[in-house]
Amino acid sequence: MGRVFIFGFLILVLSACSSYKEDELVVFDTEASYPEREILLSEVCDVTYVPLDNVEVVGGRPRLVTDQFIIYSNRESDLLFFDRQGRFVRKFNHRGSGPGEYAYIGKVIYDAASDCLVVAYNNKILYYTMSGEFLREQTLDSFVFVSDVKDYSSDRLLINNLHSLTSAYLMIDKASGKVVDSIGVVAEQAISPYVQVDLRNNMRYVYMPSYYNMVRSHDGLLINNISADTFYLLSAEKVLRPYLVRRPSVQDQTYPYFVNAWVETNLGYFLSTVERKFDAESQEGFEQAYYMIEEESLKIYRVHLVNDEIEGYEIHLDPEVIDRSVNASWGFLSLPAEELVAARDEGRIQSPELAEIVRGMDEEDNPVLMFMRFK
């Protein structure tokens, strides 16, 4: 089991670790050849499709999806609001270097208790009303780099600090911006997520795969660190207990596999691995594989999840689909117009709802969001 030091949670963690043995945890082997299994998307979720107005051009994934809004950003650092039916509502922009302004948009979350938007980047946290009015700004210590942030409770944010293992997770008071608790991870050495490559033109390029150290679950937050081997569930009551352990140790791998866990469904837990290996010349690498841990038996399968409403369209289900949602039971994927037009022209769309949406669609249109409500 990965070793963890806790400040503020110390008694709770020591109690948890003493009462859980590794053979009582879910064990996931990143190098094993698990049996393959095909699953239909309709077996694990109900799907609806939302076309986005073309008033403002957007692409890729939304920054955030709430009960009311789908929020995108663009190259100009606008935050663009669509309603849940895809109609454009408004936008605002506070990019700059002055008070109440962000240098760039790092992470965006919704503070449900205050009904406001939180923008975090570097060591700064800014709060805005949902209409774009600036509320307040907080500057954390210089040793902090906010790589992720979650709305933990009505008065606390939980931050993943990229610059420290001993203070890898910081509990921040929303009102004051002060650190009120911290969670530290102890590992043999810190493992960098980056691949640095020196190319022939004497330029250095940095590449990074997708990884998720904090994932919302039905019972709290599943947290881990890419330098350690154990995943912990942090409850709303600030109880931290080990839940899953990866093997072999990430510290023993020449090219580390990062584990992204998980999405909870009626069939089990969906997760992925990504190998920190990249060839800059060919622009190939960061290979991913997708798995499911069966809920009852804890059997593990390498999964092919097929959208039965679009023939031949495989879905990759891991924390990416819920990372920017306010609810662990909601996921979403962005379906590019170009792909949907091709599927339409090839007669591969089986859903009457989606067929109607794409009937008059052009390749240059905004994407369609596929919402998934997990069973």
Q: Tell me the per-residue pLDDT of 92-128, one tens digit each, with 9 for 90 and over.
A: 999 999 999 999 999 999 999 999 999 999 999 999 9
pLDDT at 5 over 50: no
Query: Across residues 2-6, what is the average pLDDT?
Result: 39
Average pLDDT, the chain: 92
How large a percentage of the chain has pLDDT more than 70? 93
pLDDT at 8 over 90: no
**pLDDT tens digits for range 189-238:** 889 999 988 776 777 889 999 999 999 999 999 999 999 999 999 998 88
Band (pLDDT 50/70/90 cuts) for residue 22 is low
Q: The pTM is what?
A: 0.91
Q: In this predicted structure, what is the pLDDT of residue 19?
A: 44
Domain ranges of the chain: 3-374
Please tell me what DSSP assigns to residue 102: B
**pLDDT tens digits for range 341-374:** 999 999 999 999 999 999 999 999 999 999 999 9
Band (pLDDT 50/70/90 cuts) for residue 65 is very high
pLDDT at 4 over 90: no
Residues 333/372, Cβ–Cβ less than 8 Å: yes
Q: In this predicted structure, what is the pLDDT of residue 203?
A: 79
**pLDDT tens digits for range 32-61:** 999 999 999 999 999 999 999 999 999 999
Q: In this predicted structure, what is the pLDDT of residue 10?
A: 36
Band (pLDDT 50/70/90 cuts) for residue 13 is very low
Q: Is 276 helix (H, G, I), strand (E, B) or coil?
A: coil
Query: Across residues 124-139, what is the average pLDDT?
Result: 98
pLDDT at 85 over 70: yes
C-alpha to C-alpha distance for 106 and 140, rounded to whole angstroms: 15
Residues forming beta bridges with residue 241, ordered by sequence position: 233
Q: In this predicted structure, what is the pLDDT of residue 7?
A: 38
Q: Give the CATH number of domain 3-374.
A: 2.130.10
Q: In this predicted structure, what is the pLDDT of residue 103?
A: 98
C-alpha to C-alpha distance for 313 and 163, rounded to whole angstroms: 39
Query: Across residues 177-187, what is the average pLDDT?
Result: 88
Q: In this predicted structure, what is the pLDDT of residue 252?
A: 97
pLDDT at 176 over 50: yes
Q: What is the layout of strands, in order, in the sheet containing 45-51?
A: 45-51, 368-374, 330-335
Query: Across residues 249-259, what is the average pLDDT?
Result: 97
| Short-list 226, 254, 257, 259, CA closest to 2 | 226
Q: Retrieve residue 159's tokens.
A: 């931050």
Q: Retrieve residue 340's tokens.
A: 């949907």
Q: In this predicted structure, what is the pLDDT of residue 197?
A: 82
pLDDT at 2 over 60: no
C-alpha to C-alpha distance for 217 and 212, rounded to whole angstroms: 13
Alpha-carbon dihedral sign for residues 174, 180, 185, 190: positive
Say which amino acid occupies 297: S
